[in-house]
Amino acid sequence: MTLDVIIPFYNVKEHILDVFEQNIKQIVKDGKIKNFNIILVNDGSSTFIHGRHIENLQNTFPDILEYVDLEKNIGKGGAIKKGMEKSRAEYAIFYDIDFPFGMNALYDMYNRLNQEDIDLIIAKRDFSYYDKLPWKRKFISIIVKLIAFVFSKGTIHDSQAGLKGMKKKVIPILLETHSNSFIMDFEFLLKASRRKIKMSNIIVTPNEDIEFTNFSNQVLRNEIKGLLRILISKIS
């Protein structure tokens, strides 16, 4: 079975792109996923370090890497959707560029999609993840997690992990979402929970060397506004 891995990024540090390259080489070396493509989406990054790295990635992985370069920053959720629009494989997984939960989380998700009668798999972060988060991200993550659990009637245990896998038939539901920010995941899972979609979870643990950036006050306000818009649309 074929797999597309959608990787959005925005203004990442130079060493993160080096780590990303090593991770792709590791996937190829491990051979646990035979037929896969990487759809790498640059969400309008404003730094100039990416050019030579992208060229190197394209030369290193000419047969498996597709690069999508967005002119303007539209938000992580929007970048994921742009990548999903390019997907043609039986399965699609989106993951953060630094692979924050390691390679095994990716392999486990792929294997379950391939071997079990499941349409959508959601990464569920263990408690050690929240201990590492900056307070603004911890605040919004916990709030969204609680709201998602309530509004999905207990179906969704964690909406914001940044790792989700799905069969091809689920992608149109994701593309129906209106949010282009981090909250897109929440909106997507709420929509999916109201369809005849078979959903499951995998427990993930963050890498020891995981790096977090904190939300700015503006981003935090925008995320809260986006969350409220989604909730109002569901209630009304």
Is residue 65 within 8 A of residue 57, CB to CB? The reply is yes
Domain count, the chain: 1
pLDDT digits (tens, 9 = 90+) for 104-122: 999 999 999 999 999 999 9
Is residue 201 within 8 A of residue 164, CB to CB? The reply is no
- The answer, yes or no, to whether residue 96 has pLDDT greater than 80, is yes
- 236 — pLDDT class (breaks 50, 70, 90): very low
pTM, 2 dp: 0.88
Report d(CA 58, CA 43) in Å as an integer: 17
Q: How far is CA 12 from the centre of its chain?
A: 15
Question: Closest by alpha carbon to 37, among 50, 26, 24?
Answer: 24
pLDDT at 14: 85
pLDDT digits (tens, 9 = 90+) for 178-223: 999 988 999 999 999 989 899 999 999 888 876 666 566 666 677 6
Question: Closest by alpha carbon to 111, among 26, 19, 200?
Answer: 200
| CATH classification at residue 228 | 3.90.550.10
Is residue 156 within 8 A of residue 189, CB to CB? The reply is yes
Give the number of other Cβ atoms within 10 Å of residue 124's Cβ. Answer: 18
- The answer, yes or no, to whether residue 42 has pLDDT greater than 90, is yes
Residue 195 φ/ψ, nearest 5 degrees: -110, 170
Q: Which domain holds residue 42?
A: 3-233
